[in-house]
């Protein structure tokens, strides 16, 4: 079962370094069920899209706004992860979006140096009181393009971002200067490990040139008190109902018993249509 809410030492690391790595946040069975569900999810695959990295590669991902009644939703709503994010962000949070990053062997593209708040700032979010839980489905190593972070870079605040390929990357000159002052960390992870990180922490990844896949799921949260002041492609404050960690295994097993009530993309499409209607008003 999931490991439980993080402790004070992890909160201190998050505030100091911009991230906290929790080993074994999901157990082996939960991680195996998540990985199997994602790889066998035909609709998730059909709705995936690519982002050129400016280096000849493409990152493939799927993204959705609301958790839904699936194993993905149970992970995004589970007490361990949501409770941890509440401790890190200092109060109630809501689900901003989740995504599946699909870095396949030999073809998975790179991510340019960026801050997530560099994007979300333009979604009418006033403050960087946001964070993500990055869950490793496969082993993440230097060979298959693991996440890289600049320790403490979140203290610099939001940087300007410019397009690199089809990705918006942080001001390269600023990044180079920071790399001269702060530590570059390659975050190598085992399946089930989870990296909680600040929305202003600089991070990137290399292309996956290895024969091993590197899939991951990222659940992103915004502080409830940080409700965006206008509509965008991601939701404004929506109450998030936490579920017991045991629901992860229950819904994973239900999927393979043929009893899952709804695929993530059916709800995602309804959500996208609803948002479009609101933006027209």
Mean per-residue pLDDT, 3-32: 97
pLDDT exceeds 90 at position 223:
yes
Instruction: For 233-245, write each residue's pLDDT tens digit.
Output: 999 999 999 999 9
Element (H, E) at 31: helix 28-39
22 and 189 in contact (C-beta within 8 Å)? no
Backbone angles phi, psi at 246, to 5 degrees: -60, -20
- pLDDT band at residue 168 under the 50/70/90 scheme: confident
In a domain, 3, yes or no: no
In a domain, 1, yes or no: no
In a domain, 2, yes or no: no
User: Considering the entire predicted model, what is its pTM?
Assistant: 0.89
Residue 23's CB: how many other CB atoms inside 10 A?
A: 10
Identify the domain containing residue 212 by its residue range.
8-280
pLDDT at 272: 43
- pLDDT band at residue 41 under the 50/70/90 scheme: very high
Q: Give the chain's domain count.
A: 1
- Over 107-136, what HEC string results? CECCEEEECHHHHHHHHCCCCCCEEEEEEE
Alpha-carbon distance of 202 to 63, in angstroms, equals: 21
Residue 60's domain is classified under what CATH number?
Answer: 2.60.120.620
In a domain, 228, yes or no: yes
């Amino acid at each position: 079962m999931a490991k439980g809410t993080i402790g004070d030492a992890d909160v201190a690391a998050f505030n100091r370094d911009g991230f906290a790595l929790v080993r074994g946040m999901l157990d082996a069975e939960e991680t195996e069920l998540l990985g199997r569900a994602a790889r066998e999810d035909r609709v998730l695959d059909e709705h995936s899209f690519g982002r050129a990295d400016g280096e000849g590669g493409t990152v493939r991902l799927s993204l959705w706004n609301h958790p839904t009644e699936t194993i993905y939703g149970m992970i995004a709503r589970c007490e361990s992860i949501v409770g941890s994010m509440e401790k890190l962000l200092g109060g109630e949070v809501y689900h901003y979006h989740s995504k599946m990053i699909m870095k396949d062997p030999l073809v998975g593209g790179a991510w340019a140096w960026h801050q997530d708040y560099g994007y979300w700032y333009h979604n009418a979010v006033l403050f960087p009181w946001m964070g993500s839980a990055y869950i490793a489905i496969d082993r993440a190593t230097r060979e298959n393009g693991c996440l890289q972070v600049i320790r403490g870079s979140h203290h610099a605040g939001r940087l300007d971002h410019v397009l690199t390929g089809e990705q918006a990357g942080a001001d390269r000159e600023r990044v180079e200067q920071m790399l001269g002052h702060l530590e570059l960390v390659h975050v190598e992870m085992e399946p089930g490990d989870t990296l909680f990180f600040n929305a202003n922490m600089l991070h990137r990844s290399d292309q996956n040139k290895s024969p091993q896949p590197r899939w991951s799921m990222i659940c992103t949260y915004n502080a409830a008190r940080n409700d965006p002041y206008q509509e965008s492609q991601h939701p404004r404050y929506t109450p998030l109902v936490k579920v017991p960690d045991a629901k992860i295994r229950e819904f994973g097993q239900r999927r393979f018993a043929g009893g899952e009530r709804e695929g993530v993309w059916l709800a995602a499409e309804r959500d996208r249509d609803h948002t479009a209607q609101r933006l027209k008003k």
